[in-house]
Amino acid sequence: MAAHAHAESIEDSVYFQYETLEQQQETYILGMWAFLLTEIMMFGALFLAYTVYRFQYQRDFFIFHEQLDWKLGGLNTVVLLSSSFSMALAVHYHQIKKKAATLWCLAFTNLCAFGFLAIKSIEYGEKFKHHLFPNDSFVWDAALHGGNPEHARIFFSLYFVMTGLHGIHVLIGILVITTLMVLIAKNHRLITDYIPTEMVGLYWHFVDLVWIFLYPLYYLIPK
Amino acid sequence: MSTNTDTQDHGAHAHHVTPIGKLAATFGFLLFMMALTVVAARLPLDMPDTFGWLSPYFFVTNAIALGIAIAKAVAVVRIFMGAKYASKLIKLYAIGGFIWFTQLFIMFFDYGTRNWEEVRGWEKVPSSSLPRNRDSDAGIPYPVYPGSHAGSEMSGTSEASGEAGSGH
């Protein structure tokens, strides 16, 4: 058990309000889970709004979703799943105190995050080019594609809000992972064990979770 | 293929080191399920009658897509996020997240039992700091779209928008 191996070196990092290291670590992780539940509240409301309109305008949503590139979306899914895997590996290596491997895994996670945003920006660029961003310049050619233009506006509003909010989370993830990498690399005194990596990992897996649902709901709408 | 790091199991919530083999297997599972959801969604498009006897068609395809998404989510939460190896308290939070999310959909009791109320699109209303449905009501018809349910009945009338759908 790892706890025996580094018990004496880590004993002094138990803060005074905790009885044991285990209690302290569980408190940190529980706090992270509580934060993630608030994130579910935020995204959950959007998923609910999506469901209301999808339920009402299923036919139209099928027509609109053909404007989204399921191949790029699928590529992004693979990229995010890979980043989640490397993030889990980073936690694994940090637990067994392999600093270099931890940093490499975090770097790969960050690389995937950048890749995700790059692909997403290509998709967004296409939508802007085709006047599908729901602002004043929004144009939906109902004669060409079919579907109700007003419902198209609803669909693309939901699409941009939900994937945009998710994209902001990816962006924040990049900042947090980069900060973590710097702290680990500098042997900063905040990093006494693997818990900071675990907490960043929990956040990153949550971002992955949201995309796991966004992908089929937007890119793979059945007829 | 796993290393010998997976040594402790007796401690209820001491830090569990998930072996690499387990993480890799989970990753493989996620990729497989991702491919499966694409195939499930794309393949029947050319032959919509294939599953015709499983009516209604879109209910089945949606159930498949969401079932796969939920299976992936459970794998991520249990293995990657470590809920499987965590204390009961953290498990409670993880399960609570799922329960909370499904509870949101209780709202559909409301949507399912009342009429869908068509309201005027915001872009048709001149921008104003005044409250909507009061000064700006006069002379601005409800938009009429081809295929809209209530547009023709409601256009030009000055029914209070909150009650507009309930009479029909």
* Cα–Cα distance for residue pair A47/A41, rounded to 1 Å: 10
Domain match, B65 and B134 both: no
- Which residue is it, tokens 């897996």? A205
CB contact under 8 A, B76 and A208: yes
- State the total domains in chain B: 2
DSSP state of B83: G
* Secondary structure of residue A136 in the 3-state scheme: coil
Same structural domain, B136 and B108: no
Residue B5 lies in a domain: no
- Integer-rounded Cα Rg, in Å, for chain B is 26
Shared domain for B97 and B39, answered yes or no, is: yes
- Is residue B3 in some structural domain? no
Distance CA A73, CA A67 (A): 12
Looking at chain A, the whole-number percentage of residues with pLDDT higher than 70 is: 95
Closest chain A residue to B146, measured at CA: A148
Answer for the pair A222, B82: CB distance below 8 angstroms, yes or no: no
Instruction: Report residue A27: phi and psi, to 5°.
Output: -60, -45
Distance from C-alpha of A189 to C-alpha of A194, rounded to nearest angstrom: 12
Check whether residue B102 and residue B37 sit in a common domain. Answer: yes
Nearest to A220 among B41, B87, B107 (CB): B41
CA distance A36 to A207: 10
Same domain? For B129 and B86 the reply is no
**Residue A82 burial (CB count, 10 A):** 20
Same domain, B98 and B28: yes
For chain B, the average pLDDT equals: 70
User: Side chain identity at A202, as an amino acid letter?
Assistant: L
How far off is chain A from B134, nearest CA to CA, in Å? Answer: 24
Q: Compute the distance between CA of residue B15 and CA of residue A172 in angstroms, rounded to an integer.
A: 27
The mean pLDDT value of chain A amounts to 91
On whether both B35 and B54 belong to a single domain, the answer is: yes
| Structural contact between residues A210 and A56, judged by C-beta atoms closer than 8 angstroms | no
Q: Considering only CA atoms, which of A200, A175, A194, A187 is closest in space to residue A87?
A: A200
Instruction: Specify whether B76 is located in the same domain as B134.
Output: no
Tokens at residue A139, please? 């144009």
Give A183's pLDDT tier (boundaries 50, 70, 90): very high
Q: Is residue B75 domain-shared with residue B141, that is, in the same domain? A: no
Q: Please indicate whether, in this complex, the C-beta atoms of A222 and B89 are within 8 angstroms of each other.
A: no
Sort A143 into a burial class: Cβ within 10 Å, 0-12 / 13-18 / 19+: exposed
Q: How far is CA A152 from the centre of its chain?
A: 26
Residues of B in contact with A2 (CB under 8 A): 8, 15, 17
Please say whether the beta carbons of B101 and A38 come within 8 A: no
Average pLDDT over residues A15-19: 88
Q: Which residue, among A210, A219, A220, has the nearest Cα to A84 in the 3D structure?
A: A210
Query: Within a domain: residue B141?
Result: yes
- pLDDT one-digit tens code per residue, B30-80: 999 999 999 888 775 554 554 444 446 767 788 889 999 999 999 999 999
Answer yes or no: is pLDDT of A27 > 60: yes
Task: Give the model's confidence band at B159: pLDDT under 50 very low, under 70 low, under 90 confident, else very high.
Answer: very low
Q: Are the CB atoms for A167 and A127 separated by under 8 Å? A: no
**pLDDT for residue B133 is more than 70:** no
For residue B164, pLDDT over 60 is answered with no
Contact predicate A120/A166, CB 8 Å: no
Question: Residues A119-165: pLDDT tens digits?
Answer: 999 999 999 999 999 888 888 988 888 888 889 999 999 999 999 99
Does the structure show a pLDDT above 50 at A4? no
Q: What does the pLDDT average to over B89-100?
A: 93
- Find which of A81, A138, A218, A221 to mutate to test the B interface (most B CBs within 10 Å of its CB): A81
Containing structural domain, residue B143? 121-159
| Domain A20-219, classified CATH 3.30.365.10, yes or no | no
Copy the structure tokens of residue A121. Answer: 């920006």
* The token pair that represents B113 in the structure block: 């039992």
Q: Which residues contact A57 (CB under 8 A, 6 or more apart)?
A: A148, A151, A154, A155
pLDDT score, position A2: 45
Q: Looking at the partner chain, which of A34, A52, A208 has a beta carbon nearest the beta carbon of B93?
A: A34
Ranges of H-type helices in chain A: 2-5, 7-10, 21-56, 58-65, 70-95, 99-129, 142-145, 149-185, 195-219
**Chain B residues touching residue A47 (CB < 8 angstroms):** 101, 104
**pLDDT higher than 80, residue B4:** no
- List alpha helices for A57-139, DSSP H: 58-65, 70-95, 99-129
Q: Are A196 and B32 in contact (CB under 8 A)?
A: no
CA–CA separation, B68 vs A28, rounded Å? 31
